[in-house]
Amino acid sequence: MKSLFLLGAVLACGLVSVAAPLSLEWSEGPQPLQAQAGAAVGLIGDTMVVAGGTHWPTVEFKRYFAWTQLYDLGTGTWSMGPDLPRDLAYAAFCSYGGKFYLFGGCGPDRVPTAEGFVFSRTGREGDGSPEFAWSPGTPLPEPLVFPMGDRIGSTFYVLAGGRDYDLKSISNDLYAIDLSAAQGTWKKLAPLPGAPTAYPGFAACGGKLYAFGGYRTDQDPPYNVRDAYCYDPTQDKWTPIRHIPFSCRCVTAMAYDERHILLFGPYIASASDVEWHGHDYGVSGAAILYDTQLDTYTPLEPMPRALTTISFVRKGDTLYGVGGELLYKIRSPYLFIAKVKRTR
C-alpha cells in the first residue's frame, strides 16, 4: 500500500501534464529461474543475458551468484548458461558487437573489484560444446562497486561507483574505453559535478550521456538528490539539465531513441522516511519519459509492480525488464514486457 501511495505522489510531483509521445503496454513473461537483484543484463542477438546478482534466502543471509540465466526472446524460454568466473553483482555492463561486457562489482566479501569479463558465442554449436563462454576482459582503472555504464557507438562509459561497499568513499569519475580496439585502454574524463554521488540513473542518448538523481554520503544522514546532468563527449563537459522532479536514487535509465530516455522505478525515500516508515516506503513502480530536446519529464504507464533497480533490454519496440528489489531484501522473480507505441 505504501508503494502505491508513493507512486501517486511521484506522478503528481512536478511532471509535465501534456500527453506523452510514447505509451507502454505492460505484461508479464515467464519468470526467471532465479529471482535476483544486482545482476548484469544485456542482449546478444535474441538472447537476454542475466549474469550474477544477489538473493536473500533468509533475512540474515545474502547470497551472491555466478549463475548466468539466458532468456530466448523468440521462444520465450529460460535456460542456464555457463557460470561467471566468480560470484559477482553490482557491475557496470553493456552489449556490443555480439558480446556482453562486465566491469567491476563485488562478490560475497563485498570488496570492490576492477575485473572485467566478456560473454560471447563460442562458434562451436552442434559439436556438444557450450554455445557461450566467459573470458577475461580489460579491468577498470580502479576497483568499483555499483558503477553505472552505457555505450555510445563502440565507446563504453563507466560513471561513479563506490570504492567501498558501504559508500563511505564514492567516485564521481567518468571513464571510457573503446570496445572495438583489440587492446583497449581506459581514459579518464571530466567527473560528474557536485558532491560524490552513487546510484545515479545513467543513459546514453543522441550521442550524449545523461545522469539523473543519486545518493550522497557527504552529510549525516545520507540523502537522495534531484540533480541531473548532460555530458557532451565532444567537449568533455557536463551541463546541468532540468532537475528530476523528486529526490531519488537507483532509477533505471535507458534510451528509447535518439531523443527520449525512459526512467523506471526510482527509490524516493529519504533517510528520515526510512527511519519512520521502513525501507519499503521508497519503492516505486513509476515510469517516466525524459525528452532531451524539450528538457521535460512526462509520466507514462507504471510498471505492473513497484520495484527498484530493474534492468531492461530493448528489441525493436519491445522492452524486457528483469530483476530488482520488490521490498527490502525481497528480490523480484518477474519478467516485465512492455510494448512501446508512439502516440504522436
Residue 4: its pLDDT value, please? 42
Q: For residue 75, how many other CB atoms are within 10 A of its CB?
A: 10
Residue 1: other Cβ atoms inside 10 A: 5
Q: What is the pTM of this model?
A: 0.94
CA of residue 273 relative to chain centroid, distance? 24
Would you say residue 11 has pLDDT above 80?
no
With cell 523480484, the residue in question is 332
Domain ranges of the chain: 2-342
- pLDDT range class, residue 238, cuts 50, 70, 90: very high
What does DSSP assign to residue 322? E
For residues 16 and 298, is the Cβ–Cβ distance under 8 A?
A: yes
Contact residues for 222 (Cβ-Cβ < 8 A; gap 6+): 167, 215, 216, 271
Instruction: Work out the number of other CB atoms within 10 angstroms of the CB of residue 102.
Output: 25
Query: With contact defined as beta carbons under 8 Å apart, do 213 and 248 qualify?
Result: yes
Sheet of 47-51, strand order? 40-44, 47-51, 68-72, 77-81
User: Residue 17 pLDDT more than 90?
Assistant: no
pLDDT of residue 106: 98
Q: What is the C-alpha separation between 339 and 41, in angstroms, rounded?
A: 19
Q: Which stretch of 24-28, 201-205, 228-232, 270-274 has the lowest confidence by average pLDDT?
A: 270-274
Residue 133: band (very low, low, confident or very high) from pLDDT cuts 50, 70, 90:
very high
CA angle 60, 266, 147 (to 5 degrees): 70
Strands 330-331 and 68-72 come out as unpaired
Q: How far apart are CA 186 and CA 142, in angstroms?
A: 10
H helix or E strand, kind and range, residue 312: strand 311-315
Nearest partner of 167 among 200, 136, 141, 139, judged by Cα: 200
Beta strands 68-72 and 61-64 are: unpaired
pLDDT for the residue 183:
84
In this structure, the number of other CB atoms found within 10 A of the CB of residue 219 comes to 9
Question: Which CATH homologous superfamily contains domain 2-342?
Answer: Kelch-type beta propeller (2.120.10.80)
Asked if residue 329 has pLDDT above 60, the reply is yes
pLDDT at 172 over 50: yes
pLDDT digits (tens, 9 = 90+) for 253-310: 999 999 999 999 999 998 888 989 988 899 999 999 999 999 999 999 999 999 999 9
Mean pLDDT for 88-111 is 98
pLDDT (mean) for 185-207: 98
The C-alpha atoms of residue 17 and residue 15 are separated, in whole angstroms, by: 6
Q: What is the mean pLDDT of the chain?
A: 93
Which grid coordinates are listed for 279? 525501507
- Given a cut of 80, whether residue 8 has pLDDT beyond it is no
Angstrom distance (rounded) from CA 230 to CA 159? 13
Assigned C-alpha cell, 5:
501511495
- Cβ contacts of 204 within 8 Å, gap of 6 or more: 150, 151, 152, 157, 210, 255
pLDDT band for 65, please (50, 70, 90 cuts): very high
Q: Is 327 within 8 Å of 283 (Cβ atoms)?
A: yes
pLDDT for 259: 97
- Per-residue DSSP letters for 116-162? EEEEEE-S-TTTTS-SEEEEEEPPPSS-BBS-EEEEETTEEEEE--B
Q: Give the single-character DSSP code of 83.
A: P
Check residue 16 and give its pLDDT.
Answer: 65
What per-residue confidence (pLDDT) applies to 78?
Answer: 97
Question: What are the angstrom distances between the C-alpha of 165 and each of 19, 74, 158, 174, 190?
Answer: 41, 38, 17, 19, 24
For the ranges 120-129, 140-149, 239-248, the lowest mean pLDDT is seen at 120-129
pLDDT at 126: 61
